[in-house]
Amino acid sequence: MESKTVRILSVSGAAKEVSVVGSRVSSLMEAVEEAFGVAPARQRLICSGRIMRPDDLLSAYALNGTIHLFPRTEPAVPLRRRESPPEDYLLESGAAGGGGGVFALEEVDIGSPREFLWGFVMGFVLGFIMLLYLWERSVSYRQKMGILAGATAQLFVKYVHSGWIAAQAQPPPGD
């Protein structure tokens, strides 16, 4: 098999040349484990802005630059697979008849409580404009929930405020 040398840059700033034997990203991950001591389950390799998946071929990536290594603090949760489409698949995609293929579910970024707070503030201040941001894939789950909670709180405050203004505008009974 052919051997290919790739430059890996770690988050800590350590750069090493790694020799890869094989055609899959998993073989690169094994070579990175030998060089940096990071288990493949904890590795996140980024090449030209794309996350490298273990099942992909190395030829799918432009390996002429530097590959960045971001070790995870915990082992990655493997992707779950289903033999049938999710129950809401037909509603989301508009597909009819749903085939019996294998559907991979993506990892969901839950986010932090701080992201929820930012989402709440943005949803409260910007209201319905932020609802358009919910379809952005890079937004974490908690931030999306914060945006929804903030927009809902803004609606509630406006409703209560308009009722209070209407109550103040009415003349007191008996006049």
Q: What are phi and psi of 82, to 5 degrees?
A: -120, 150
The answer, as to whether pTM is greater than 0.75, is no
Q: In angstroms, rounded to a whole number, what is the distance separating the alpha carbons of residues 6 and 20?
A: 7
Percent of the chain with pLDDT over 70: 77
**What would the pLDDT profile of 105-133 be if each residue is shown by its tens digit?**
455 568 888 999 999 999 999 987 888 88
For residue 57, what is the DSSP state? Answer: B
